[in-house]
Structure 1
């Protein structure tokens, strides 16, 4: 399927807000590889092929290994993700799957062992941003294309 609507043309003000948030999250002190891992994991959960294609490519360009990209579905069973990455991925899953998972006080405390208050807020914004992009891409009919 091809893109249904040229949404950047139809709603430029709304898309500017999305892009401004993207710029903000890129300035975060959250490690850029961790940001990409979050984006990949959330896109896996949401089934967004377009975003998976984009963010796995970006992660590879940053030097991320194939093994770590392929194993994100089972991150909690792997020893090659850092504790910081694991807690960020757990937070990502809980926020993305909010009807069935919750951000508990225990999870919040574990996140705060590795991230300060500002970084916690930034993590939440990064997670929400990729959830928004996934939903926009899926609703607009964006697909991954063979390269």
Structure 2
């Protein structure tokens, strides 16, 4: 790759990474608003529904930004991301089924299942990316 092409590619990666970060931040803010708005800011269900719809739309924007981010990465980075996502999907399916079994059998009173799963998703994905980078050093 010539230097101008390399610089162009690096600029695209940087630009798409920033766009993904902005969309992710916007999604987190709209999620917080939709979650905590009815508790602290308003009591009208119509506003809550609108906030949830906005969160869904911003989430779609975040998915598109993530897809574009993955498209401009090199093959190794794409492979690392794919392996991390596959690991995360597998862990989440297994853990969510365990949660369902525990709750269904009333073995434990597990609360905040969704927030626990979101934590597991984040940690598993980070571990998957870290392991992938170490594997391909």
* TM bucket, shorter chain: under 0.3
**Higher relative contact order (CA closer than 8 Å, sequence separation 6+):** 1
> TM-score scaled to structure 2, two decimals?
0.27
Q: Which structure has greater helix proportion?
A: 2
> TM-score scaled to structure 1, two decimals?
0.25
- Structure 1 or 2, whichever has the larger Rg, is 2
